[in-house]
Amino acid sequence: MTNSEELCGTCSHFGKDLGSDLLVQIRINPREEGVRVASCDLPDNASKHLKVSPISQCDSYKAA
């Protein structure tokens, strides 16, 4: 990873299975919301039902 700010919690593929209020809080500060996991809706991962934390990262980051 080259950019430590490209965290799953701020990615548009993260958290569609979370409530909108919680998702907003995670996007504001992904490191402060404790241990949470949510789906990764990146099309390549959809069939895998991958769950990630807000501070995870990957090469397919897309800002929310």
Q: What is the model's pLDDT at position 3?
A: 63
Calpha distance 61→45 (Å, rounded):
13
pLDDT digits over 51-60, tens only?
999 999 999 9
Domain ranges of the chain: 8-52
Q: What is the model's pLDDT at position 1?
A: 43
Percent of the chain predicted with pLDDT > 70: 94
3-state secondary structure of 46: helix
3-state helix, strand, coil in the chain (%, to 5): 25, 10, 65
Q: What is the model's pLDDT at position 40?
A: 94
Which has the higher per-residue pLDDT, 46 or 23?
23
Measured over the CA atoms of residue 7, residue 27, residue 50 and residue 53, the dihedral's sign is: positive
pLDDT digits over 24-36, tens only?
999 999 988 677 8
- Side chain identity at residue 42, one-letter code: L
